[in-house]
Amino acid sequence: MQLEKAIITNTVTGQQIPVQFNPEEYTLNRDNNYAQAAVPGLSAPLLQFVNGNLQTLEMELFLDSYEEHKIGSRVVNAAQSDVRDLVRQVTDLMNIQPSTHAPPVLLFTWGSLAFTCVLAKAMQRFVMFLANGTPVRARINASFSEYRNIDLEAKEVKRETSDYSKRHLVIEGETLSSIAGAEYGDPRLWRVIAVANRLQRARNLPAGSRLRLPNLPYRDPDTGKVYA
């Protein structure tokens, strides 16, 4: 049984581009980013998850306009058999759409594969030419990047809080250093508390204030600096 043709659908315009020849293979890539926090006395740094990267779909597309204009051993309508017309159908998917001010979101479907994405890279290689120099065969190394937005993330990922911070009620006479000494065993880690609570005046702690005491290692969301 012959596998159905792969189709690239422009979700903005609704245009569907059937892949002329199904790719021989495709590659899916996915990875995560982790920050390393070096802690004195440990044999290796601690790892802290930062974010996940976009999944990518990579494949080679084969395009041919030569056979379509060949009768027997004679090529007809040579001026119309330029494979670049087929190539542009794919590469134009990287053009900015007037309605969205961005390249279109695509849906690549092939058998059981359905991949919502954007075309991130298309390397063109022309491999066969007519006598007049017109290219009639081409290969495109295409890389599609997974499309994600806030709405999709919220629907697909039911997040649970990863914030195990403690809450501390400031009493009269306490300082950030004394709180850090009691919580972390090191008064010098007072800055962690100041950064986590965005305190501008770290020396004046009104009694009754509630402070967040984050777990260590702690990564400053603004600067990326890791405190351990």
For the residues 128-149, what does the mean pLDDT come to? 92
- Whether residue 91 has pLDDT greater than 70: yes
CA distance 47 to 45: 6
In this structure, the dihedral spanned by the alpha carbons of residues 224, 148, 20 and 97, taken in order and rounded to 10 degrees, is -100
Q: Residue 117: its pLDDT value, please?
A: 95
Cβ neighbours of residue 12 under 8 Å, at least 6 residues apart?
97, 99, 100, 104, 105
- Whether residue 160 has pLDDT greater than 70: no
Residue range 31-60, pLDDT digits in tens: 988 888 777 777 888 777 777 888 999 999
- Whether residue 90 has pLDDT greater than 70: yes
Q: What is the DSSP string of 29-75?
A: E--EEEEEE--TT-SSPEEEEEEEPPPEEEEEEEEE-SGGGEETTEE
Q: How far is residue 79 CA from its own chain's centroid?
A: 41
For the residues 118-143, what does the mean pLDDT come to? 94
Residue range 99-118, pLDDT digits in tens: 889 999 999 999 889 999 99
75 or 207, which is more confident: 207
- Whether residue 157 has pLDDT greater than 70: no
- Look at the block and give the residue holding tokens 């134009």: 92
109 or 77, which is more confident: 109
- At residue 85, what is the residue type? D
Q: What percentage of the chain carries pLDDT values higher than 70?
A: 86
Mean pLDDT, rounded, of the chain? 84
Looking at residue 102, the DSSP 8-state letter turns out to be B
Domains of the chain (ranges; CATH) run 7-156 (2.40.30.200), 166-227 (3.10.350.10)
Q: Residue 119: its pLDDT value, please?
A: 97
Residue 177: Cβ within 10 Å count: 17
CA distance 9 to 90: 11
Query: Per-residue confidence at 217, pLDDT binned at 50, 70, 90?
Result: confident
Residue range 10-22, pLDDT digits in tens: 999 999 999 999 9
CB 117 within 8 A of CB 57: yes
For the residues 50-79, what does the mean pLDDT come to? 74
In this structure, the dihedral spanned by the alpha carbons of residues 138, 108, 94 and 144, taken in order and rounded to 10 degrees, is -80
